Chain A
Amino acid sequence: MSSRLVPVTIAILALAASCPAQESSAQESATLSFVQKNCVACHSSSVSSGGVDFTSAKQPDTFVQNREVWERALAKLKAGEMPPPGVPKPPAADTAAVTKWLDAEFTRQDAAIRADTGRVAARRLNKAEYNNTIRDLLGVNIEPADGFPQDQAAYGFDNVSDALNLSSVLLEKYADAAERSVRTAIFGPDKLKSAATHYSFPVRLNDTRGKAPKLPDLHGYDTTGLSSRHAAHVMHRFPVEGTYSFRIVANGHRPDRSMPVHIGFWIDGKLTQQFEIDATDLEGQNREVRAQVTAGEHLLSVSYLNEYSGLPPSYGGPDPSTRPPTPTLSSPHGKLTPEDIEILRKLGTTVKTDSIETRIDNRFESIDVGGPFEQVTGPSLASQKFVYTCGHTDGKHNASCPRIIVSNFAQRAFRRPLAAKEADPYLSLYTLARKHGDSFDEGIAAALEGVLVSPNFLYRIERDQPVDAKATTVPVSDYELASRLSYFLWSSMPDAELLRAASEHKLREPAVLEAQVHRMLSDDKAQALVDNFAGQWLQFRNVDVVRPDNGKFPDFDDSLRHSMRRETELFIGSIVKNDSSVLDILSANYTFLDERLARYYGIPGVTGPEFRRVDMSATQRGGGVLAQAGILTISSYSTRTSPVLRGKWILENLLNAPPPPPPPSVPALDDTKVGESASLRQQMEAHRASAVCASCHSKMDPLGFGLENLNAIGQWRDMDGKFPVDASGSLPGGRKFTGPKELKALMLQDRDAFVAGLTEKMMIYALGRGLERFDRPTLKTIESEVAARDYRFSALVMGIVTSLPFEMKRPQDTKALSASASIDHNPEGNSK
């Protein structure tokens, strides 16, 4: 918390001199006397609560000079947080007049801000952008950037220009990636040696040993078996497209007389192979299946299909077994002796001398992934078309082909037309290779690799044109605008249509621009907005790395993780594709579920592993991201929920009001007592006891309490250990709610704060820099446009794309630059 001194001037004459409007100065002095009467008692130089002092030093323009403090004061007044409870409140009319005047004053100030676009330094391609660009440039999907070191993030995003540094380690990886990508495009993927990976599955069972088996619901269960405890899931990275073998080893038991079990092998939730095993003792039973798999990470699952079918009739399950009972072990002479049993065994009869098998604990032991076999080799048709732009995909090239190929490639890679002779150096690599006896293709490979190591490819560089010294903003070139657009919406290079619009100088025409934006948002490549923007803004990328405690949450596995992530991805993706209202993110009446997740949420009637849109209006949890298990899990600890963590998450990401850091030496919660001697909520009452703690926690905790019915892995609960969940709370200012749906309804009332936060975040992502004071007018304009257009997603995107900082930039006087390189032409401190 900053402790800034807020001066107050008392001389009204001085005010009149600085503010021409007499009425405005009267309101300003009314505000100042309001502050004097109601605030100074706790916020003066002798007592500066929260580090705020409204009395010291006499300074005109206090509302400009100390804008941040006055904004905080305004926010507190509006939210009803100040004066704090227990202190007599001033008349509502007075408070309203003050907030109205402060709002107007800030708007007046913002309107007077000199238009400034800020300036972004050359943006290095980050990992996602590199992968996508290679895919679109060469038609290869090898995702070479996955081995790169982590990009440094700033302001919550990994595409902020100033944070994207280049080290020699990374440059070398770029060079290796260029080599691999180009060679894959020209010669096909590397021929790999087959390797095997072994995955053992944890034994979570043995729950029936020595006890009568607890029978599950034999009729209404998930017949795919994917959500059963008996299934097993693992993520595996496949290095290249090809055929792979999967040796599946089962274990466990089925009751005597059961029909054979049916095992399903799934890749990414799709049934790929199935087979049958006829045995009641499954230990050691294994089968090998093969499947064609594309490169990349895939989820492998094995499950028992229709696992409660085929049981002996006595279980009362569906499709009971038709097999006759096993003969009992007796003879006309009485029970069999051990010697008899020995003889029978030697003759090959299986004799079970303990009780007849009744267990249903079929499970999986392990899976071995082997391969690749029959690997896809040879370049793809798509890659060949991208490379051999001279038209000769049959290999019959003539002397002009190298120049054509290299120039076209460089042009697409640099995302702009080439300067005269700019292709020559890259062509010289071709010539060098030929001189050393390498083939045409090897020569082309060398040249194209060179292009991909050039700073013109690795960085999005915006060139300066000589300008009129008086200009404060200049338009970015049409090609540069095309790149800004495509990296914003697709995290990739502009496509042919965008580049054509740029070359014809049509891209800036409003109708053309709008049409392009809509086209881009409907394109599959807009998935990048979901993965990269939303994945970082809402932090659901973390779903991949959280590790809920296996002891407390034994049902959490990789398949559930996969489904959770899909739900949020599809939800945000649907808002983008269908141009829905952004307010749906806060509170919608739908979501996307597969059977696994539907059972998890307790929603009937959803069968099968495909995701589909489901109406959530009748459910207790409702819709929107705060009802989604992935979001609820990443905002919890591995062993329990944390209302503080969730409250903080909401404040930071949805309400644009991040809380300041906690003071040091704060003692932590006693985990073991939670649910036992005191509910989590009761334990947290300590936050309200101290005024220092309450200032932040009175905002955070209630938001988290509202979600307490949803446990640390997003499941509904009515009890927390021994205590019923109390999901009621009140926001500062007094509005009350109980449960998640009412909480979300209240948040919808504060939609302006949500839209402001979302706009800011998306602006940072689109521009690649942090935001400054001079961006405020832009943000305000976009926010009102979004509200005016029903909060549609495309309205937000269009608002950003047509804004000043997106279409224009600060000019740089190139002549003065060359003369004296040490002058900093950005006195406001660059774009930081």
Chain B
Amino acid sequence: MPKLYVLNVPEFEGLIESARNKPNCTIRSVGQSYRCIESDRPIKFVRREVGVGPAVWYGAFTGGIDGRLVDFGREEVTLVDA
């Protein structure tokens, strides 16, 4: 099950909002500082849906991942099982 950890700061909030619109994603709190986006299938993120510029996009997984990034590019990326 791919997982993405997101630090609770404004610049990464778009990841959470994007995940809320994905039917198979769940979001849970991990302590007070992080949330975890997880799904039973691959999670695809689209930069314009996340609403960030390239600099933040390329660092958007800094909270940590459980899984493997495929098709990582400037506009889209998919997180799959490891």
> Is B truly associated with A?
no
Give the A-binding residues of B (Cβ under 8 A): none
